[in-house]
Chain A
Amino acid sequence: MESLYAITTGILTACGLFLTLRGRSFPVVVGLTLLSYAVNLFLFSMGGLTTNGAAILDGGGSYADPLPQALVLTAIVIGFAMTAFAVILAMRARGDMGNDHVDGRQVDETREERR
């Protein structure tokens, strides 16, 4: 189970990173989102993988580690804010620079590219 989880996290990370290395803004944003899923999964697993042990106290039994959960919960929300900021920045960049390249060039895109 643990190895499968780790492999999945690794693949998500790799896919996210590959997209953040692209040259246009939208794939970068998608990559960031994918990467934040991977990071959240990774952080979440730092408390171990527990089945049927939600940290809702009911008098007994063992519970999953609540601390990484609390951290990841806020991370999800902040991750959303970051994605939103990045994508709006991408829109703004396109509006101001005339294209959606991520290297800051200021060339208007062709009509073909606009679609």
Chain B
Amino acid sequence: MTLLWIPLLTLLGVLAPMCLERYGRNLCSLGTATPPAIALLLALNQVPALMAGEVPRIAISWIPQLGLDLAFRLDGLSLLFLTLILGIGLLIILYARYYLAPEEPFGRFNAYLMLFMLSMVGIVMADNLLLLWVFWEMTSLSSFLLIGFWSSQSDARKGARMALTVTGAGGLALLAGFLLIGDMVGSFNVGVVLDSADVILADPRYPIMLVLVLIGAFAKSAQFPFQFWLPHAMAAPTPVSAYLHSATMVKAGIFLLARLHPAIGDSAMWGWLVTLTGMTTFLYGGWFALLKTDLKGILAFSTVSHLGLITALLGIGSPMAILAALFHILNHATFKAALFMCSGIIDHEAGTRELAKLGGLRRAMPITALLMSLAAAAMAGVPLLNGFLSKEMFFKETLDAGLLGGLGWLLPLLATLGGVLSVAYSLRLVHSVFFKPAKTAPPKHPHEPPRLMRVPVEFLVMICVAVGLFPAVLATGLLNLATEAVLGRHLEFHLAIWHGVNAPLIMSLVALGCGVALYGVHPSIRRFVRQFATTDARMIFENSIQRLVARSQSLTERLENGSLQRYMSLLLGAALLLATLGLLELPQLAGGMPEGELDGVLILGAALLIFGALGTVVTHRYRLVSLLMLSVVGLVVSLTFARFSAPDLALTQLSVEVVTMILLMLALFFLPQKTPRESSAHRTIRDIALASALGMVVASLNYAVLTREIDSISRFFIDNSVPGGGGHNVVNVILVDFRGFDTLGEITVLAIAGLAIFKLLNRLRLFMPHSDAEGRVWSPDRYPMILTSVSQWLLPLALLVSVFIFLRGHNQPGGGFIAGLVTAVALILIYMARGVEWTQSRLDFPYQLVAIGGVAVATLTGLGSWLFGRPFLTSAFGHFKLPLIGEFELATAMLFDLGVYLAVVGATLMILANLGKVTTPHRPTKDAQPATSKEKS
């Protein structure tokens, strides 16, 4: 449980500054620092257990289906990193207290910082690869917030975006790698993975996995060719750079390499890739650090260089190389954090960090000068400081690496070269800031920083010196645990300053000597380099991002231009493609079934359908004619259903046809009567081709299905209709009983469509013509006599018919849908004959309620079965006897059907009556003023 407290406390630290900000900076900093301080103590408290060879773990199941557990471990490697993350984190909190300007949002800064700390703690403690990845991405996100903290600066925004893109994309590659590992091993547990090296190495996917994992790690640790984001991340406030880009975030990639080394590190491919990438980065960073003119720029590139050094050591991979890598992680974190903080102090107190504007500061800030010189000396590898020890171990390992075969001498040579560069830029850093006479006065009058702002630097430099002097006493313990965690066994080693005169010492001395000489000639080198055109990584990056955005934008605009025509043609094109591919897979179009006999009626019906459909298209510019043609199709479709044994469908189609035509005619009143000719010939031909191709595909599909044996589940419905549903009309029983839930959904959709239309018609401004397309004015006779009187006696008859249809629906063709439509048609006839006002005054209830009531009745019927402990919509039925009528059957399904009936009546009338309401009162006639503008608002 103690383990869980370490991340939990850091999480608490995220909230603390937000709550404490209003009580002033001191309290806010104190409140922020307390949780990680306790967490650090808790971590150190585990040391005895670690010494005893245990690995404390905790696991809580999170999403077991994915293999993701909330699992943490604390081994020596985690402890080493925890010490860095929490320890340096505490120093940074103190430093930031003085660094941030009074007007800057202090609480938010600390919260971001703690969020980042939490993610780092999560990475180093995770005992599950997926969990590790989650924290990994969290570092990318929180570092984005931190780098872009000064969001008003364009540099900060761009730098943050670049860091997020590069590390985030690397993270995705890493996830892919982790998933591959999980697939090979069968578990995402870190412990299991570390024990499965033989399985992983033997897997054929190993090279792919290794490359993916390395991309993730290299992107995070700014290794070549991903190094370009780190210098631009220097737009961050200096405490952030000191924390993220020296001690923690960039070390996450290194941590990952060390963590996974036992599982995936034992191959030649690892050795080559990691070592060479590391060496390249080492030299690349060193070279550019020498050329930069900005303090933080130099430090950024030197960080890139040192990360390369550590990566190279991990690539070499021998036990002593691992030890050297871990030792250098520790040393680099201390001296680099100190150097960053010093550069922040200089920036803060002198107002600039451009080398050209600085100089001679040793008089103004002597203590800072001393501290920074010591830290820089540690970076250069001057004896008696910690950097010297690990760098010498690095030299030794390059000598013993055994890579590159006959060219094995290349590694130590390159290492020495890197060392030379390292000495030169360290010297330049210190000399040009503190000792070289200033050419111009700095923007601010420089002076020593506030006492407490210097404390973190003093502390770190003290560690550099102390470890440099007494390595065996101070560093052995921690390194023992860490190497044990990586190697899986105890490693006997002795850290000492003096090993006698040997090759590494000579390399060190050469590096020191040549470094000083290189610094001496570096102005001429810089002059030489200046002739070459420089490529700014940020420009390349920004340009490619902008190109990408522009491409996506133009693609989106091409696909989504707001025109239905475009969407339809794309949609139909895609459908055509897919359906065609499906058809191509059929061995032959016709199945084995013989065709049925044709007769005259069928041919006539088909001819009418085809005539109607083609007529609709041909006459589509004359909208009313086109509509009449359409109604021919609708009527013949209904006859088709009747012919092919579907009386229910025929009845439904017939009544829907009537309602649809009334609706479309009514709507046509408000729309232009003619369609102008505007499609180009090209477009028309394209549309005809597309439509006919799809028509042919549909016809082929239909034919293919019709000539094949049909294997249907309908047998069940036919067999169970009477015993299970109590009805002889199987279609109706399916609707109200077997698939009642579907029907419920459908009447709900119907009611919603009605409501939506009601809403659409609300406050609609429409143009109403006073004459038809030919210029003939509308008939002055609004309510024809014959229609009025016929409709009046037709209504009770129609209602009677619909009751009849409704009641017989369970056993004979009919049912709620059809009855509802018949009722609706009868009522609409009244509307048409008498006008909306007359009808409305007599039918004084809102149809919305009828529709909603219908859905409610159906739902309640379904819920009713719960009262009897049955599932939703279980139906019951029984036979009853009534005098006069005789025996009849009552089923709860009938109640459900009543709901359907009401919903259909309500929705249909809601649509039509509301549409009618828009027209009537102000309909222009011959007598009225010709309407010229939009009326009715």
Contact = CB atoms under 8 A, between A and B. Distances in A.
A pairs with B: yes
Given A6-B700, A73-B731, A44 B614 contact: no
A1 interface: yes
A95 B643 CA distance: 43
Interface in B603-649: 603, 606, 609-610, 613-614, 616-617, 620, 623, 626-627, 630, 633-634, 637, 640-641, 643-649
A103 B614 CA distance: 25
Contact of B904 (A77, A79, A87): A77
A30 to B, nearest CB: 6
23 contacts: A3-B595, A6-B702, A8-B606, A10-B699, A13-B691, A15-B616, A21-B565, A22-B620, A22-B687, A24-B676, A30-B627, A56-B728, A57-B718, A66-B717, A72-B649, A73-B817, A76-B653, A77-B821, A84-B757, A85-B753, A91-B764, A102-B565, A103-B562
Interface in A8-44: 8-30, 33-34, 37-38, 40-42, 44
A103 B563 contact: yes
Contacts of A103: 561-566
A102 B565 CA distance: 7
B920 interface: no
B80 interface: no
Contacts of B572: 17, 21
A83 B614 contact: no
Contacts of A19: 616-617, 620
Interface stretch (B108-116, B295-303, B500-508, B705-713): B705-713
B455 interface: no
Contact of B811 (A14, A56, A63, A90): A56
Contacts of B569: 21
A114 B617 contact: no
Contacts of B641: 44
B742 interface: yes
Given A55-B729, A66-B714, A73-B652, A22 B597 contact: no
A59 B852 CA distance: 39
A47 B660 contact: no
B644 A84 contact: no
A55 B606 contact: no
A13 B904 CA distance: 27
A107 interface: no
Interface string A72-109: 11101111111111011111101110001011100001
A82 B907 CA distance: 12
B869 interface: no
Contacts of B713: 67
A22 B773 CA distance: 20
Contact of A33 (B630, B695, B749, B817): B630
Contacts of A57: 718, 721-722, 728-730
Nearest to B761: A88
B743 A84 contact: no
Contacts of A37: 633-634, 637
Nearest to B702: A6
Nearest to B693: A14
Given A23-B679, A87-B667, A95 B595 contact: no
Given A33-B664, A44-B649, A76-B656, 17 more contacts: A15-B613, A15-B691, A18-B617, A33-B634, A40-B637, A42-B698, A45-B702, A45-B706, A48-B710, A54-B647, A55-B730, A63-B730, A95-B764, A103-B564, A114-B672, A115-B769, A115-B771
Nearest to B721: A57
B124 interface: no
Nearest to B615: A15
B813 A54 contact: yes
Contacts of A115: 672-674, 769, 771, 773, 775
Interface magnitude class on chain A: 35 or more
Nearest to B717: A66
Given A49-B706, A63-B730, A102-B563, A4 B699 contact: no
A104 B699 CA distance: 33
B688 interface: yes
A15 B698 contact: no
B663 A6 contact: no
A6 B609 CA distance: 12
B202 interface: no
Contact of B671 (A3, A33, A69, A100): A100
Which of A37, A42, A52 has most chain B Cβ within 10 Å? A37
B731 A70 contact: yes
A52 B697 CA distance: 29
The 9 closest A-B pairs by CB, nearest first: A10-B699, A14-B695, A103-B563, A1-B596, A6-B703, A81-B753, A64-B645, A102-B564, A18-B691
A67 B717 contact: yes
Given A21-B690, A50-B645, A78-B750, A5 B702 contact: yes
Contacts of B598: 1, 4
B630 A25 contact: no
Which of B602, B668, B699 has most chain A Cβ within 10 Å? B699
Contacts of B817: 73-74, 77
A52 B703 contact: no
A94 B649 contact: no
A12 B602 CA distance: 16
A38 B710 contact: no
A79 B699 CA distance: 21
A70 B735 CA distance: 6
A102 B713 CA distance: 42
Contacts of B722: 57
Contacts of B664: 29-30, 33, 83, 87
B923 to A, nearest CB: 15
Contacts of B634: 33, 37
B745 to A, nearest CB: 9
B547 to A, nearest CB: 29
A74 B698 contact: no
Contact of A2 (B623, B659, B706): B706
Nearest to A70: B734
B37 interface: no
Given A22-B675, A74-B735, A88-B757, A69 B690 contact: no
Interface string B752-777: 01101100110011110101010100
Nearest to A18: B691
A103 B683 CA distance: 15
A113 B613 contact: no
A83 B773 contact: no
Interface string B558-593: 000111111011001000000000000000000001
Given A73-B735, A81-B754, A114-B767, A51 B644 contact: yes
A33 to B, nearest CB: 6
B718 A66 contact: yes
B675 A26 contact: yes
A47 B710 contact: yes
A48 B711 CA distance: 10
B352 interface: no
